[in-house]
Structure 1
Amino acid sequence: MLVLFLTSCQQDDDEVMAPIVEESEEISQNAFINSWVYEAMNTYYYWNEDMVLPSSVEQDPKDYFYSLLNEEDRFSYITDDYQGLMEELSGVYTSMGYSPTFGLLSSTNEVFIAVEYVYPNSPAQQAGLQRGDIILAIDGQRLTTENYFDLYIQNQYSVTLAEYEEDSGFTINNETLALSAEVIAADPVLHKEVISTADKRVGYLVYAEFISGDNQAWLSSLDVALDEFAQESVTDVVIDLRYNPGGEIEVAQYLASALASSSAVSSNEVLVRYDYNEPLESSIILYEGEASESLVSTFIATGHNLNLSQIYFLTASSTASASELLISGLDPYMDVIVIGETTVGKFYGSWVIPDLAEPARHAWAVMPIVLKYTNAVGATDFTGGLTPDYSVEDDLLYARPFGDPSDPLLGTALNLISGGQHARSLTNSAHKSYIDLENPVKSQKNKLLLPNAEQTNQSNVYSSNE
């Protein structure tokens, strides 16, 4: 298995391979963690040949880790809470249960939170928070560029809601909601319905994250949606990935296999191929063969195939990783129509690598980029993101409920499906009146993850952009 056999995959460069500390040395905790980080990165990191040994092993492990990264790398990640990371990747974790966009209103420099969605039965829903709500203050403090994220990540607070009008800006409506974080079950199937338009029946699915869940619970939830579409004899399908940062490669493979033609599935056509650093790829070929699932993902029989020849995807600027893999992987086999905003541009995958000693010596884990993927016709390197066929901005100051045909992105898809003109012209000059601010939580979820070290006695492997 990978963690066991890759000890023989070391590089020959003495300078690169020299241990940062000798085993016999008594070393600080930081030096110990950094030695472990370097060993993992030297073995698995896609750009391992480009790493430069930092001058000091005594620095904070996060600083040490990020100093190793290739300048092209926007996605590798380190955490000192491995258990918390795995809980979040499973979809059962402590949260208030709403997904935010942080915005800076360009006309007034006011910071706000717009609610992208709310998980059912979460504290946020129970408090009355809804998609499209605008939060202007937390615990009575107006949001600023300096405090917005620190206020947001607290486990208990009250939010002050506001209304927005283009001419007058924000108006506080004196409605305050009290929120307290709890352990939630974050089912990624946020919304599903069948919409009738003209003589068409359209299956509409809002999918938040590519996660299988404990005991495959979230795959079962996805199956329910797919079976409902099949039973309702849908003619077209719209998959809403606007707020989907990525997730597990195997779940993207599963959904792709449910959407593609039955002939592509039955013949196990290639969905995507994977490229690793040279020693790692050579070892995979040696131990698993060139047809290894670590090197290629194919369409697979899931028992839930819609046999489509055309598919519509809704995207936003945060759509990433496994979402992009799904779109790119399906493109050679069907008519893929993308509506919305240009995606993040992540064609890389990560493994979650914790300390595998028994017992574990620390709680750190790294998620380095370990692979790059290409689709069946070799398409990759979309650094600037996937460009939509129909460019429509997702303006959350005017968010509509999921499934509402007046949502500009969904409305565009429905108009195209029914044979009408799309909702907005490609030359439309209207633009959002705010700037998206950094969302570290979503950035951490931008992962394309492969199977997991503790589950398989090898290094943890997952797929995403979060």
Structure 2
Amino acid sequence: MNNFFKLQFIVILTLIISCTNNDEAPPVFPEGSTESVNLWVQDSMKRYYYWADQMPAKPDYRLPTKDFFKSLLSSQDRFSFIVNTEDPASYPRSIRNMYGFDYTVLQLTSGKVVTVVKLVLKNSPAFNAGLERGMIITKVNGKEITAANAEEITSSMKDQNVIGLTVGRWEDGTVADEKYLTVYYGYSFEQPLLAKVFQKNGKKTGYLYIYDFPDGMTAALYQKFADFKAAGIQDLILDLRYNYGGSVSSAAALCSLIPAGLSGSSPFILFKGNKNGGEVKRTFAQQIAYDPKAIDFNTLRINALGLGKVYILTSNSTASAAEIVINNLKPYVQVIQAGDTTLGKDMAGFTVEDKRKPRKISWQIHPVIYKVFNASGEGGYSNGIQPQITVNEYEVLPLLPLGDSEETLISSALSHVYSKGAVHKTEYEKIKNLFQSDVPFAEAGNRLRTPAGRQQ
């Protein structure tokens, strides 16, 4: 079982491909041809892809590589993708990774349609242009956004290097103080953790907003939890509403800082792959150690809070490693989820590429390789993880800053923290979400690491 996990990560695949039918000779194509590249893609997918047994037996090797790759995918697969490292245009593009913001198109109870900026990354092009969470976008490049054209406008923005936004403030049911902002395509820097401590009636609640799970974030988590511990917090709210995921090791580090009673040998995660991959089990200590930049489990536990429950704020942009945090904490603490149903990415994978020197194939595959499960064997949330407390964060406009105790999702969690009764599921259906700029876009997803620390 573990031989696959230990030996297959330096992916030096030759073009001498084993055939699926022992009676048939493998196809042979000229080196460097589209067909030979597609043969490499097929062999890689046979070896690693979770749904390898569903791939077509005789695909069309003449197809362009991106189309060929798509022809191999299972109908159940929403997340695998392929890029050409020599062609930037082949990489997934989104408003968030190009400009540093996201928005939602809403239909209000009055029937009016408005476009609300829900996220602006710190030190991003949008941030530097003056865009703020809660602003209303009335026009993009001079064109009004409607329910009918929102998807078309979003798509057109991805094909540009600069966009013009007409924005204003929401005030008494209308848009006020409109102005024009120019946002250029560019780089968004790593996002900081945002921590707060709320206090009411002598009870302290910690709040931590986590944008994503990059490798090497354990030192920052360690410090934030040291601050929480020093403050004497009794409850914790994790805000993962816009968290696409990232490193499973960083997610494990976060989880290790919350419950009581964990040891290095406590089981954290189970990866289930195809017939080649089998099953891989990892403890908290093992999974954290797969990040070479991580603080070790025993050191992290010095600042563990030892809580019996945790509140987690989610949306349908909560995905991948962020969903692992929700699911894999459940065997150890009571998880009270507030917000919207998560995206449903119950999978993990690593990058498959040609490691020959010199490299002969520039394509890089990002396939789904494993389904993921918690210590109790629970998983299978491809339709998303549903909250106990269903809250539409757009129920009250304008949107307040993240970290504000009166912000809709945060206040809904705090109301349960400070109430004495049981958690009751609530429903909010007054405002309709018509379109979101970051759905169905999904990033590379749950990232694993080899023992040597190579990105997979």
Alignment of 1:113-192 (within 5 A): 113-143=115-145, 144=149, 145-152=151-158, 154-163=160-169, 171=175, 173-189=177-193, 191-192=194-195
Q: Which residue of 1 aligns with 2:278?
A: 281
Aligned-partner SS, 1:273: strand
Aligned-partner SS, 1:37: helix
String of CA shifts for 1:25-61, please: whole Å, max 9, x gaps. 3266432331221121011001111110454212122
Aligned-partner SS, 2:351: strand
String of CA shifts for 1:162-193, please: whole Å, max 9, x gaps. 4557966xx4743111222333322252x211
Residue of structure 2 aligned with 1:200, choices 190, 199, 203: 203
> Deviation of residue 150 (structure 1)?
1.9
Structure 2 CA distance for partners of 1:45 and 1:152, relative to 1, 3 Å: closer
Structure 2 CA distance for partners of 1:18 and 1:306, relative to 1, 3 Å: farther
Structure 1 gap ranges (5+): 283-289, 462-466
Structure 2 CA distance for partners of 1:306 and 1:292, relative to 1, 3 Å: closer
> Deviation of residue 444 (structure 1)?
3.1
> Deviation of residue 273 (structure 1)?
0.9
Residue of structure 2 aligned with 1:79, choices 76, 83, 99: 83
- Which letter does structure 1 place at the counterpart of 2:21? D
> Deviation of residue 386 (structure 1)?
1.0
> Deviation of residue 275 (structure 1)?
1.0
Structure 2 CA distance for partners of 1:33 and 1:155, relative to 1, 3 Å: same
Structure 2 gap ranges (5+): 1-6, 290-296
- Which letter does structure 2 place at the counterpart of 1:130? E
Residue of structure 1 aligned with 2:447, choices 446, 449, 466: 449
Q: Note if contact 1:6-1:43 (Cα within 8 Å) is conserved in structure 2.
A: no
- Which letter does structure 2 place at the counterpart of 1:198? N
Q: Which residue of 2 aligns with 1:416?
A: 416
Residue of structure 2 aligned with 1:14, choices 21, 25, 28: 21
Aligned-partner SS, 1:342: coil
For the residues of structure 1 that align with 2:346 and 2:239, how far apart are their CA atoms? 20
For the residues of structure 1 that align with 2:314 and 2:23, how far apart are their CA atoms? 41
Percent sequence identity over matched residues?
26
Structure 2 CA distance for partners of 1:28 and 1:82, relative to 1, 3 Å: closer
Structure 2 CA distance for partners of 1:220 and 1:153, relative to 1, 3 Å: farther
For the residues of structure 2 that align with 1:188 and 1:204, how far apart are their CA atoms? 14
> Deviation of residue 111 (structure 1)?
7.8
String of CA shifts for 1:273-307, please: whole Å, max 9, x gaps. 1111112338xxxxxxx76679x848933424222
Structure 2 CA distance for partners of 1:119 and 1:4, relative to 1, 3 Å: closer
For the residues of structure 2 that align with 1:454 and 1:63, how far apart are their CA atoms? 33
For the residues of structure 1 that align with 2:191 and 2:24, how far apart are their CA atoms? 44
> Deviation of residue 4 (structure 1)?
5.1
Q: Note if contact 2:107-2:431 (Cα within 8 Å) is conserved in structure 1.
A: no
Q: Note if contact 2:117-2:132 (Cα within 8 Å) is conserved in structure 1.
A: yes
Structure 2 CA distance for partners of 1:404 and 1:358, relative to 1, 3 Å: same
Once structures 1 and 2 are overlaid, which stretch shifts more, 305-314 or 177-186?
177-186
String of CA shifts for 1:239-281, please: whole Å, max 9, x gaps. 00111111111111111111222x21x2521111111111233
Structure 2 CA distance for partners of 1:204 and 1:377, relative to 1, 3 Å: same
Q: Note if contact 1:83-1:363 (Cα within 8 Å) is conserved in structure 2.
A: no
- Which letter does structure 1 place at the counterpart of 2:142? G
Q: Paired residues, what number?
A: 430
> Deviation of residue 142 (structure 1)?
2.9
Alignment of 1:219-368 (within 5 A): 219-261=218-260, 263-264=261-262, 266-281=263-278, 297=287, 300-303=297-300, 304-368=303-367
Once structures 1 and 2 are overlaid, which stretch shifts more, 230-239 or 299-308?
299-308
Aligned-partner SS, 2:277: helix
More helix by share: 1
Aligned-partner SS, 2:126: helix
Aligned-partner SS, 1:279: coil
Structure 2 CA distance for partners of 1:317 and 1:135, relative to 1, 3 Å: same
Residue of structure 1 aligned with 2:42, choices 29, 38, 59: 38
Q: Note if contact 1:271-1:298 (Cα within 8 Å) is conserved in structure 2.
A: no
For the residues of structure 2 that align with 1:154 and 1:202, how far apart are their CA atoms? 43
For the residues of structure 1 that align with 2:298 and 2:392, how far apart are their CA atoms? 36
Structure 2 CA distance for partners of 1:127 and 1:382, relative to 1, 3 Å: same
Once structures 1 and 2 are overlaid, which stretch shifts more, 310-319 or 358-367?
358-367
- Which letter does structure 2 place at the counterpart of 1:366? I
| TM-score, normalised via structure 2 length | 0.82
String of CA shifts for 1:53-105, please: whole Å, max 9, x gaps. 454212122211111111211111112238979x99xxxx974332x034264
String of CA shifts for 1:102-156, please: whole Å, max 9, x gaps. 4264899998653222232333222221112222322223342323222255332
Q: Note if contact 1:317-1:342 (Cα within 8 Å) is conserved in structure 2.
A: yes
Q: Note if contact 1:318-1:343 (Cα within 8 Å) is conserved in structure 2.
A: yes
- Which letter does structure 1 place at the counterpart of 2:131? L
Q: Which residue of 1 aligns with 2:3?
A: none
- Which letter does structure 2 place at the counterpart of 1:273? L
Structure 2 CA distance for partners of 1:427 and 1:339, relative to 1, 3 Å: closer
String of CA shifts for 1:355-398, please: whole Å, max 9, x gaps. 22223334321111111111111111123211111111122854
For the residues of structure 2 that align with 1:435 and 1:5, how far apart are their CA atoms? 43
Q: Note if contact 2:109-2:431 (Cα within 8 Å) is conserved in structure 1.
A: no
Q: Note if contact 1:101-1:116 (Cα within 8 Å) is conserved in structure 2.
A: yes
For the residues of structure 2 that align with 1:360 and 1:200, how far apart are their CA atoms? 59
For the residues of structure 2 that align with 1:362 and 1:454, how far apart are their CA atoms? 24
Q: CA RMSD in A?
A: 3.6
Structure 2 CA distance for partners of 1:301 and 1:153, relative to 1, 3 Å: farther
Q: Note if contact 1:97-1:125 (Cα within 8 Å) is conserved in structure 2.
A: yes
Structure 2 CA distance for partners of 1:313 and 1:146, relative to 1, 3 Å: same
> Deviation of residue 5 (structure 1)?
8.7
